Amino acid sequence: MALAFDEYGRPFIILKEQEQKTRLSGLEAQKANISAGRAVSRILRTSLGPKGMDKMLQSPDGDVTITNDGATILEQMDVDNQIAKLMVELSRSQDYEIGDGTTGVVVMAGALLEQAERLLERGIHPIRIAEGYEMASRIAVEHLERIAQKFDFGPTNIEPLVQTCMTTLSSKIVNRCKRALAEISVKAVLSVADLERKDVNLDLIKVEGKVGGKLEDTELIYGITVDKDMSHPQMPKQIEDAKIAILTCPFEPPKPKTKHKVDIDTVEKFQTLRQQEQKYFDDMVQKCKDVGATLVICQWGFDDEANHLLMHQNLPAVRWVGGVELELIAIATGGRIVPRFQELTPEKLGRAGLVREKSFGTTKDKMLYIEHCANSRAVTIFIRGGNKMMIEETKRSIHDALCVARNLIRNNFIVYGGGAAEISCSIAVEAAADKYPGVKQYAIRAFADALDAVPVALAENSGLQPIETLSAVKSQQIKENNPHFGIDCNDVGTNDMCEQNVFETLIGKQQQILLATQVVKMILKIDDVISPSDY
Amino acid sequence: MAIEKILKDDASEEKGERARMASFVGAIAITDLVKTTLGPKGMDKILQSTGRGNEVTVTNDGATILKSLHIDNPAAKVLIDISKVQDDEVGDGTTSVVVLAGELLREAEKLVAAKIHPMTIISGYRMAAECARNALLQRVVDNKENAEKFKSDLMKIAMTTLSSKILSQDKEHFAQLAVDAVMRLKGSTNLEAIQIIKKPGGSLKDSFLDEGFILDKKIGLGQPKRIENAKILVANTAMDTDKVKIYGARVRVDSMSKVAEIEGAEKEKMREKVKKILGHGINCFVNRQLIYNFPEELFADAGILAIEHADFDGIERLALVTGGEIASTFDNPESVKLGHCKLIEEIMIGEDKLIHFSGVEMGQACTIVLRGASHHVLDEAERSLHDALCVLSQTVNDTRVLLGGGWPEMVMAKEVDELARKTPGKKSHAIEAFSHALVAIPTIIADNAGLDSADLVAKLRAEHHKEGCNAGIDVISGSVGDMAELGISEAFKVKQAVLLSATEAAEMILRVDEIITCAPRKREDRM
């Protein structure tokens, strides 16, 4: 530990309880940070690409998660190191912003750190490295824009979108039926997309899963599913042209907020109270009936009596529906959420073409499907799968695919996947490096080397010779001046990603490069780590 | 350079080979655990719970065994999970699915040791699973058109399922019970409608299926014990003190006489309610909630049979069988649908009195009364019967049937083997391994029966090279036999689910190359 001494040799106490803290500074601190960052990226490295492996994570409570999704792995890893936490943040922000490429961004940051370490050893100042990286990232992003291609699609021509989603899904465990899932995701996104504003509200897409069946049974429902059943076992299981009253008030006598007491001291009072109570129930049910509702969906429970009255009036009802679901139902059916019975009017009812109850398997699991809604802007993706882990993983994969589709709608430029974009950028950055005088040149060149890390990892994971493959592809790109060549992970026989239909979104790639550079810069700038030592 | 520690203190991380090793070992250990229960001569396990009383369960059912285990190995948890799902989805084959997945991993372990990449193994397994499924699809028998034959199929399936359980001694009897019960459901898979009542005493053979409905309740005092042409009102209403539900209501009186008055009013209210109920013209009243003495007395006076505290399931089933609706208000007697049945009487099973509804309108529901020497026997019998019922109800919907006794595995193995020969590249090894894993199932069945498995399976394989062969392992005589003649059948849906979920699970475990175990959450001492 670096200590300051006065002229008599006594140490100065600078930090509070200095002896109990460990302190790393200067090059040592940077190296420690870099190695922590690289340790995280090393974990994710094998998950990259279509032949990437999964990680099994056991949570503090003993639940098992098996996943391939970078953001999920890091989230659940429960890291302790501060720098490692930064990497986790990095992958999370890629997840929030883009939704896909969470593994790639960490791998790239790791590679940048690795290169930086070498430069540091040669005595280059970290700030210089950071500046060089910044410059190089700008070059790469601009180059991406140049090689990006515009992708035309419309509500009828969804094929390009499907292809891009398939690239995303091919690295997940669901790649067995990636085509079907990609189609489902694209259709879901398109049905909620606002093509004019180029915006997609992913909240309108609900992803539900139920254990059982096959992955192939996964379906897109133009409507809502609710994990509830009719409140009374003998209510009809199927309602056509339903008019839905969406209530947030219980079918119970009112409970005023102010404290009150009703004193009963005579028989008459007792009887009037009784009649009053009956009237309440009658009124409530009658009101729903009067406005012409054929289905009542309620956030709260009903009393037995209310339940029977509803049944009696031939008014099916669902109780204990959650707030979020209630909102989605309201959006989908075009109804309004009604907080009081008095405010129930025919205009506030939601409409759906078909409401049905469906049961699954040998257990008595039932779900309510609300389909053909007035406003079909809310959709549900209903996932089936062999076990819970599979469903959770499918949910994550679908989420990635949805995000990709959304990004394409926002910005319909794509670059080629399979490492092609990275290799092309690397060539461009390398070429640009020579134009910069001074120390930065080294940093820019290091950036170019770091860009190669993604295709190398891809090749490694696919069981190819990494260096051989990369150099072959690189020379091919330069020779033919065509940025479409990438790593042939699936052993198809061609390097041309255009033919293999492997696409990624432009903004996703750009974001990856920018985010990775940012984090690396941040890590490089740290030159002092002060932490409480472990006793 | 020392690797920087990035995980928390107690967390552990296993990588590459070691991670794979850990998951293989865990999965194979689980497989070996349940392996011995497979097949008609499989053994049972005793499970002792750690809870109070150390309750003991004796079972042969894979799902039940695995459910009760506390496992720490993540890969083993995956296997337990698939067995649970198999139970929920098709009800039977819970052991087979774990054993197959375990065997697939055992084979994969060898391949990994021979330096074949897990991804290659996975793609081989996928091809093999698809091919195996197609092989089964080609050989299925579908007797949907022929009701007579279909019924005998069902019977065979039930007997095959039951033969590996505790009920194997009386499997014909129970198979008949299960088939009859499922046929009554008429295609619905809602097993709720089949009620199983367990009464210790007698022997398993005394179990019977009752066409009507049995409610495990007593008839109120002084009420008729037998009613013909009963009109039943099924209700869910408070018959104790009918509380006023308006919030904050309370009684405050200033003299004793007032108390009496209000009590009187309350009684009057109840009397009115009873009167309204009587107004439906019923002669039997079944309530989910309690009936207090006072209304009970009123019912007795009117000569009406009142049954209190029928549980929720009971009441739903009763409503289902008698065709009545569950009522909670009684103001409009004309529009409430009443339930009907020909005869209600009190019957005795063993020493207990039960209420028996016979000649019900809708024949969907029925009751199976299980008799047996002890609670353990009964519990196991119920599980076995549940398996059989599940399989049958699924078969009614998907009528495709296969032969049993290791026949489907051999058929699949043969096809998969052929595929392996045709496939170029490393995948072919994985495909071959798949067929080995399939053959392991008849091997285990034979081993469990104490037979010479190597000899038998080799014979079986030879038989299967003939066209249209029906050979399988006949465990009883200990030789290769014709499964069609022996009447051993299995439902296609079960086999398919076993095949697909086992492959899926094996794939999932194979894909893992790193296990990160988080630090266990510290329990706070509340002492």
pLDDT (mean) for A392-411 = 86
Query: CATH number for the domain including B185?
Result: 3.30.260.10
Active site includes B57? no
Residue B173 and residue B237 in one domain: no
pLDDT tens digits, residue range B92-134?
888 888 899 999 999 998 998 888 888 888 889 988 998 999 9
Active site includes B525? no
pLDDT tens digits, residue range B196-210?
888 887 777 778 877
The pLDDT value given to residue B2: 41
CA distance B342 to B231: 9
| Residue B229, domain member (yes or no) | yes
| Residue B7, domain member (yes or no) | no
Neighboring chain B residues of A173 at a CB cutoff of 8 Å? 507-508, 511
Q: How close does chain A come to B403, measured CA to CA in Å? A: 23
CA distance A198 to A473: 36
Q: How close does chain B come to A39, measured CA to CA in Å? A: 7
Residue B122 and residue B62 in one domain: yes
Residue B66 and residue B100 in one domain: yes
The pLDDT value given to residue B497: 85
The pLDDT value given to residue B68: 82
Residue B217 and residue B236 in one domain: yes
Name the token pair of B346: 């009190």
In eight-state DSSP terms, residue B331 is S
Q: Which architecture, in CATH terms, is A20-150+415-521?
A: Orthogonal Bundle (1.10)
pLDDT (mean) for A524-529 = 84
CA distance A32 to B1: 10
pTM, to two decimals: 0.79
| Residue B281, domain member (yes or no) | yes
Residue B135 and residue B220 in one domain: no
Which tops the pLDDT comparison, B172 or A398? A398
Give the residue among B436, B409, B422 at the shortest CA–CA distance from B499.
B409
Radius of gyration over every alpha carbon of chain A, rounded to an integer in angstroms: 30
CA distance B99 to B32: 8
* Residue A377 exposed, middle or buried by CB count within 10 Å (0-12, 13-18, 19+): middle
Neighboring chain A residues of B104 at a CB cutoff of 8 Å? none
Contact A463 B91 (CB under 8 A): no
The CATH number of the structural domain formed by A224-375 is 3.50.7.10
Partner-chain residue, chosen from B3, B74, B266, that has the shortest CB–CB distance to A39: B3
In this predicted structure, the answer to whether residue A486 has a pLDDT above a threshold of 80 is yes
Band of pLDDT at residue A20, cut at 50, 70 and 90: low
Contact A79 B7 (CB under 8 A): yes
Give the residue among B364, B379, B387 at the shortest CA–CA distance from B182.
B364
The pLDDT value given to residue A154: 72
* Residue B407 exposed, middle or buried by CB count within 10 Å (0-12, 13-18, 19+): buried
Query: CATH number for the domain including B318?
Result: 3.50.7.10
The pLDDT value given to residue A114: 92
CA distances (Å), A190 to each of A101, A200, A222, A379, in order?
22, 8, 12, 10
Q: What is the 3-state secondary structure (H, E, C) of B70-139?
A: CCCCHHHHHHHHHHHHHHHHCCCCHHHHHHHHHHHHHHHHHHHHCCCCHHHHHHHHHHHHHHHHHHHHHH
The structure tokens 């208000």 sit at B329
CA distance A190 to A499: 25
How would you classify the pairing of strands B352-360 and B213-215? Answer: antiparallel
Name the token pair of A84: 């490692």
Torsion of CA A48, A49, A52, A57, to 10 degrees: 50
Give the residue among A208, A257, A170, A262 at the shortest CA–CA distance from A395.
A208
Active site includes B94? yes
The CATH number of the structural domain formed by A152-212+386-411 is 3.30.260.10
Give the chain B residue nearest A235 (alpha carbons): B325
Which residues pair with residue A205 across a beta bridge?
Answer: A379
CA distance B216 to B196: 11
Supply the range of the domain harboring residue B191: 147-204+373-398
The pLDDT value given to residue A447: 93
Q: What is the DSSP string of B471-490?
A: EEEETTTTEEEEHHHHT-EE
Q: How close does chain A come to B61, measured CA to CA in Å? A: 16
Name the token pair of B363: 């024949």
Name the token pair of B185: 């459901």
Residue-wise over B41-79: b if at least 16 C-beta within 10 A, else e?
bbebbeeeeeeeeeeebebbbbbbbbeeeebebbbbbbb
Size of interface A-B (CB pairs under 8 A): 235
pLDDT tens string, chain B, 527 residues long: the values are 344 566 666 677 777 778 888 888 888 888 888 888 887 777 888 888 777 667 788 887 888 888 888 777 888 888 888 888 788 777 788 888 889 999 999 999 899 888 888 888 888 998 899 899 998 888 888 877 777 888 888 888 888 888 777 777 777 888 888 888 887 776 666 666 677 888 887 777 778 877 777 777 777 666 777 777 777 777 777 666 656 666 666 777 777 777 787 778 777 777 877 777 777 777 777 777 777 777 777 777 777 777 777 666 667 777 767 777 777 666 666 667 777 777 777 777 777 777 777 777 666 667 888 888 888 888 888 888 888 888 888 888 778 888 888 888 888 998 899 999 988 888 888 999 999 999 988 888 888 888 888 888 888 888 888 877 888 888 778 888 888 888 888 888 888 888 888 888 888 888 888 888 877 776 655 44
| Residue B367, domain member (yes or no) | no
* Residue A395 exposed, middle or buried by CB count within 10 Å (0-12, 13-18, 19+): middle
Give the residue among B287, B367, B354, B357 at the shortest CA–CA distance from B322.
B357
| Residue B455, domain member (yes or no) | yes
The pLDDT value given to residue A220: 86
Give me the catalytic one of B31, B64, B94, B322. B94
CA distance A368 to B130: 33
Residue-wise over B182-213: b if at least 16 C-beta within 10 A, else e?
bbbbeeebebbbbbbbbbbeeebebbebbebb
Residue B56 and residue B120 in one domain: yes
The structural domain count of chain B equals 3
pLDDT tens digits, residue range A69-117?
888 888 888 787 888 888 888 888 888 888 888 888 999 999 999 999 9
In this predicted structure, the answer to whether residue A363 has a pLDDT above a threshold of 70 is no
Active site includes B64? no
Query: CATH number for the domain including B428?
Result: 1.10.560.10
CA distance A2 to B307: 86
In eight-state DSSP terms, residue A126 is H
Domain final residue, candidates B362, B383, B411: B362
Name the token pair of A282: 């009658």
Residue B85 and residue B193 in one domain: no
The pLDDT value given to residue B365: 67
Non-local (6+) Cβ contacts of A500 within 8 A are A418, A486, A488, A490, A492, A494
Neighboring chain B residues of A231 at a CB cutoff of 8 Å? none
The structure tokens 């259709």 sit at A187
CA distance A420 to A489: 12
The pLDDT value given to residue B1: 36
Neighboring chain B residues of A357 at a CB cutoff of 8 Å? none
Q: What is the 3-state secondary structure (H, E, C) of A445-456?
A: HHHHHHHCHHHH
| Residue B354, domain member (yes or no) | yes
Q: Domain boundaries in chain A? A: 20-150+415-521, 152-212+386-411, 224-375
| Residue B174, domain member (yes or no) | yes
The pLDDT value given to residue B205: 79
Give me the catalytic one of B210, B379, B387, B474. B387
Residue B392 and residue B407 in one domain: no
Band of pLDDT at residue A140, cut at 50, 70 and 90: very high
In this predicted structure, the answer to whether residue A517 has a pLDDT above a threshold of 90 is yes
Band of pLDDT at residue A138, cut at 50, 70 and 90: very high
Give the chain B residue nearest A489 (alpha carbons): B119
Q: Which of A233-237, A366-370, B479-483 has the lowest mean pLDDT?
A: A233-237
Give me the catalytic one of B64, B95, B160, B395. B95
| Residue B240, domain member (yes or no) | yes
Residue B325 and residue B454 in one domain: no
In this predicted structure, the answer to whether residue A487 has a pLDDT above a threshold of 90 is no
CA distance A123 to B479: 80
Give the residue among A388, A354, A357, A387 at the shortest CA–CA distance from A372.
A354
CA distance A264 to A270: 6
Neighboring chain B residues of A387 at a CB cutoff of 8 Å? 78, 81-82, 84-85, 501, 504-505
Radius of gyration over every alpha carbon of chain B, rounded to an integer in angstroms: 29
Name the token pair of A480: 């033919």
pLDDT tens digits, residue range B285-296?
777 777 777 777
CA distance A194 to A201: 8
Largest pairwise CA distance in chain A: 102
Neighboring chain B residues of A361 at a CB cutoff of 8 Å? 88-90, 189
Non-local (6+) Cβ contacts of A117 within 8 A are A31, A34
- For residue A273, count other CB atoms closer than 10 A to its CB: 16
